[in-house]
Amino acid sequence: MHDHDHHDHHHDNRYTDMQARVRALETVLTQKGLIDPAAIDAIVETYETKIGPRNGAHVVAKSWVEPEFSEWLQTDATAAIASLGYTGRQGEHMRAVFNTPETHNLVVCTLCSCYPWAVLGLPPVWYKAPAYRSRAVIDPRAVLAEFGLVLPETRKIRVWDSTAELRYLVIPQRPEGTEGMDAPELAQLVSRDAMIGTALAGRPA
């Protein structure tokens, strides 16, 4: 058992130990008049809902319906994504990796939790977890199965390790039965997990 594990049980609240520390710091800073809680909430909501996965879904859907944009993504994803107004907070570069019938792509950050905030919003908790970060590299097929994604044995799984300078965006395959759908409709089928590689794009209802 790690030293911090005994802090992980609930202290009659809904926060983990780290969340409790953040809340305590926020309270102190608010009392000192240094931050406005409403501004913090607005930033979080923006990353969760506005800057969040909807940006990435827009990128994916546009690549499905516009071959020229798809080619641009393959040659210079940073510029292609920036053309839609989505840029990294620290100028990091983007690379788009395309799923095919032969190859499935999975993104991880083994050193910390580098993540493309500009197109995916807030990283999921599991993306930061040591178990995911190590096992995704060692046994990606088993990890995907735990997410409910069982791929054919014939399909190669390629794992991409994000860094502070380079972030990855998975472009899932366009689902069957979507021929008559436009980009906004297609974007609704693209989840955050599909753009990390732990899921496939959804099918139309």
pLDDT, tens only, 156-199: 999 999 998 999 999 999 999 999 999 999 999 999 999 999 99
Catalytic site includes residue 112: yes
Catalytic site includes residue 114: yes
Catalytic site includes residue 109: yes
182 contact partners, CB below 8 Å, separation of at least 6? 65
Domain 51-196, CATH: 3.90.330.10
The helix or strand, by DSSP H or E, that contains position 156, with its residue range, turns out to be: strand 156-161
Amino acid, single-letter form, for residue 28: V
CA angle 102, 108, 110 (to 5 degrees): 135
Cα separation of 137 and 123, whole Å?
A: 18
Q: Work out the mean pLDDT of the chain and round it to a whole number.
A: 85
Given a cut of 50, whether residue 2 has pLDDT beyond it is: no
Annotated binding site for Fe(3+): 109, 112-114
